[in-house]
Amino acid sequence: MGNIEKLDAGELKSQLDGDLLLPADADYEEVRQIWNAMIDRKPGMIARCQSSDDVVKAVNFARENELLVSVRGGGHNIAGNALCDNGLMIDLSPMTQVEVNSDTKRAIVDPGCTLKDVDTATLKYGLAIPVGINSTTGIAGLTLGGGFGWLSRKYGMTIDSLIAVTVVTADGRTLRASETENADLFWGLRGGGGNFGIVTQFEYQLHPVGPDVLSGLIVFPFHQAKSVITQLARFTESAPEELSVWMVARKAPPLPFLPEEVHGKEIVALALCYVGDPAEGEKLIEPLRQFGTPHGEHVGVQPFAEWQQAFDPLLTPGARNYWKSHNFTQLSGDAINAVIDYAGKLPSDQCEIFIASIGCATGKPAPESMAYSCRDANYVLNVHARWDSAEEDQSCIHWAREFFNDTKPFASGGAYVNFLTQDESERVESAYGPTYARLQEVKKTYDPTNFFRMNQNIKPA
């Protein structure tokens, strides 16, 4: 590895349209912060790119000087791969343009955009991309790992709406990749993460949404969890693709529609979104209210862009986070019992367990049609440990790992790579399953030296 401290930073700085930050610069500490406060690394330089040309220059500089490279889009990834120690962080966050063509229903999106940036631009036209549920997430990392959210049962994974990308490869070339151009690279980028290059532009197919949708929360007492989750499992097996219902088990935040005595107590919440006629949606969600005796609910018609931000207050940056995740084809009684057991012993007030209901459109593509292969996943379970002080690290991480181990026998295999933490590199091969060998070949073609390795790494064949 090259010694970054001996390099002339002025050489790269003079080439960039954007800025180059060094550890002594005033903005350095702020810019190097990412969402997960557990990750505390210090890049030797931060290239704040304004364009694809800036990315090419940064990549060439790093390669020629044998520097470790990390790439930051939104900086939201749980594993913290946006940050490297003593290397060059290529920061795409200044690149935030979204161009929408409402006639062709296409959007061209820069890699520094958050989901809020994208939703704000597309929903003006009643159009959207199926993306995640936290508006501060970066669109680049979400897409490259697969991407799913409220619209996925209807419109598939985020990668299923990806039409083309512009990507800078390890040798400094700028390529366009699509089904007809560099198709092997396009195949790998749809789920293969940041292993093959730095995407500097995404082109998506847009889908009609709202812009207003029926959405909200129904909150039940925790002692009714067995009944609620068991009925939810049956309900989601036959629910229409327009309706997504997710389960969250946690301690109740101080939501205004809940009685004050419920605040801070364990609850089970159903979060729902119906992409269709709200009147029809009301009929479909009525059975949910009968799963138990709710503490309260907040369900109504609201702009989809607002619903996309509903969980942001629970996912603010600056906390310490550790996740463990499984895929399921169905929710067995044993899996549900484990959820209830561990939700009953949350190690901090911010910890939660959520089960996302996907399936429908996400299961239509063939498993080997793109790098993301977990097309049999009808549910994604994420145990989200979250806390504030380093003194709580051991108890919170232990809780998450124990839960993961106890639910593993009921899981379907595979994994959602965006939910893998920095200590789960051994799961990467199993996460991809049938596509892993081909991913290694694509890696060998486009990054034979493993230049891009600050990621859930796929080693070249």
Tell whether the model's pLDDT for residue 288 goes beyond 80: yes
For residues 430 and 375, what is the distance between their CA atoms, to the nearest angstrom? Answer: 14
Q: Determine contact, residues 158/118, Cβ cutoff 8 Å.
A: no
Domain 98-209+434-446 has CATH 3.40.50.720: no
pLDDT at 3: 80
For residues 294 and 248, what is the distance between their CA atoms, to the nearest angstrom? Answer: 14
Domain boundaries, the chain: 4-91, 98-209+434-446, 212-419
With cut-offs at 50, 70 and 90, classify the pLDDT of residue 21. very high
pLDDT at 7: 87
**Range 107-117 average pLDDT:** 98
Tell whether the model's pLDDT for residue 1 goes beyond 80: no
pLDDT at 6: 79
For residues 111 and 445, what is the distance between their CA atoms, to the nearest angstrom? Answer: 23
Name the residue with tokens 């790093």: 62
Please determine whether the domains at 98-209+434-446 and 212-419 fall in the same fold group of CATH: no
3-state secondary structure of 438: helix
Residue 174 φ then ψ, to 5°: -110, 115
As its CATH architecture, domain 212-419 has 3-Layer(aba) Sandwich (3.40)
pLDDT at 421: 95
For residues 251 and 29, what is the distance between their CA atoms, to the nearest angstrom? Answer: 33
pLDDT at 381: 97
pLDDT at 215: 98
393 half-sphere exposure, CB direction, 13 A CA radius: 7
**Range 323-330 average pLDDT:** 97
**Range 172-188 average pLDDT:** 98
Q: What is the pLDDT of residues 229-251, one digit of tens each?
A: 999 999 999 999 999 999 999 99
pLDDT at 4: 84
pLDDT at 100: 98
Q: What is the pLDDT of residues 358-388, one digit of tens each?
A: 999 999 999 999 999 999 999 999 999 999 9
Q: What is the pLDDT of residues 408-448, one digit of tens each?
A: 999 998 999 999 999 998 999 999 999 999 999 999 999 99
Class for the domain spanning 4-91: alpha beta
Tell whether the model's pLDDT for residue 2 goes beyond 80: no
Q: Is 55 exposed, middle or buried (0-12, 13-18, 19+ CB in 10 A)?
A: buried
With cut-offs at 50, 70 and 90, classify the pLDDT of residue 356. very high
For residues 454 and 451, what is the distance between their CA atoms, to the nearest angstrom? Answer: 9
